[in-house]
Amino acid sequence: MNTPAGPQLIAYADRLGGTFRGLRELLDGPFAGAFDGVHVLPYYRPFDGVDAGFDPEDHTVVDPRLGTWEDVRALSADRVVMSDVIVNHASSRSAQFRDVQERGAASPWAPMFLTLTSVFPEGATEADLARIYRPRPGLPFTAMTLGGEQRLVWTTFAPEQVDIDLRSEEAWEYLGSVIDTLVGAGVTMLRLDAVGYTGKEAGTDCFMTASTRAHTDRILALARARGATVLLEVHGHYQQQIEIARTVDYVYDFALPPLVLHALHARDLLPLRRWLELRPTNALTVLDTHDGIGIIDVGPSALRPGEPGLLAEEQIDALVEAIHEASGGTSRAATGAAAANLDLYQVNCTFYDALGRDDRRYLLARLIQLMVPGIPQVYYVGLLAAGNDMDLLDRTGVGRDVNRHYFSAAGVERELRRAVVQVQLAALRVRATQPAFRGEFAAELDGHRGRLVWTGRDDDGATAVVRLDFDVSDATFAFVATSAGERRVVVSSADLPSAGQPVVARSGR
């Protein structure tokens, strides 16, 4: 089993702290001791494009409104820093693509960008086009003028995000410069964004193909040669995550969030029990991220015809409806055809609202996450237990913005006074420091009761144990840590007489 590492925070610098320095002040101040690392979401120039930084005009420049590469180095001096390598596409406003728009095939960067004929030089049939897998409605092409000629440019996600051709050395020159810049600033974990779409091949669905594996292996070699590890970001059938995990440093456990939600809404732990028996341990666990709550990761998928999911279709339908009901319908207004930036496999909702802002169930969900093997990542909106930001959704029309709140300094200070936030931080500090998490993991789950246990030894050789006993039928739980002969109840549902009331963190070292 891989030795689990400490928790990481996921945050936009501009939305939490305002700048790199502000984010660092939070990590060194009120968040101190809770996080061993931080995944800073795209901070390149500009960080506020059409896709919240995932469409940078220059992937090798820190947006000066957020800071400099020296600020990134300062942040990485005493913690792990993860940054995104946007592998599948570059901005349509990048210098490279603007040159292609002006000069067409005469541009030295022309081979770097994909058009329809790049993959289908003899033309594509209706069957070819219908087979292409895309997370959003419609075909992944945008008509553009390149050097005076109308072309169909490959744009998997949005017209402003032009797919790059990793069969070209120009693309590798570009990606190599990005990786060198990041590692040179002290970044030691690289998150490969949308890497599953990089291997376009005629005669396939253009997702997670043999070419994707070859491209990933090449990036892995580049990263490891520079002392960095790689996390793959792939949504798909759960069997794909198991297979991918054998070939890379880390994958996301995207199945965990919907399975925890199913357990708490349906009062049913059996699908989660099955996943704990199957899942890879070289995983980053999450409840929420900057994207929506993934559904495809636990269901049957066209990507694996005939293979069942971890949840049956009727269970998934019930889960989605339970989320919408728990959120008072706000998630329904932010998901699917109701909002722009569509993702066919995600529900746009904060995790706190997905559980009806019930502090007890929410804290139980977080504790389950922290006990599951892997590296726990906690999204800043989830850490501060925020509800859906409908004002931001109204302003932008982008569904995922309900879960991308901007916190002012005063707003962070206010949220930090809430017990649900204080208890999360207390539990994260246990996860970051308890020697039990260097030991062995065991799980006992029946229909609605569960026990998760880590057993190890402290530096003096004494037994260290962290245990979570819980019942999803009534959201009762006890989170207990024992080390150096001292037993401490970190938090218990006994501190919460009835659901909906604030949890009180117990004092202790």
Q: Which residues are catalytic?
A: 193, 233
- 395: number of CA atoms within 13 Å, CB side? 9
Burial class (CB in 10 A: 0-12, 13-18, 19+), 306: exposed
- The residues, any chain, with a CB within 8 Å of residue 485's CB and separated by 6 or more, are 462
As separate numbers, helices (DSSP H) first and strands (DSSP E) second, the chain gives 18, 21
Closest CA to 131 of 122, 145, 120: 120
- The residues, any chain, with a CB within 8 Å of residue 229's CB and separated by 6 or more, are 188, 189, 190, 223, 249, 250
b (16+ CB within 10 A) / e for 137-152: eeebbbebebeeeebb
Distance CA 498, CA 476 (A): 10
CA distances, 407 to each of 16, 17, 54, 286 (Å):
6, 8, 20, 21
Continuous segment of H or E residues that includes residue 45: strand 44-45
- The residues, any chain, with a CB within 8 Å of residue 137's CB and separated by 6 or more, are 342, 344
* Strand 80-86 relative to strand 58-62, pairing: unpaired
- 185: three-class secondary structure by DSSP: coil
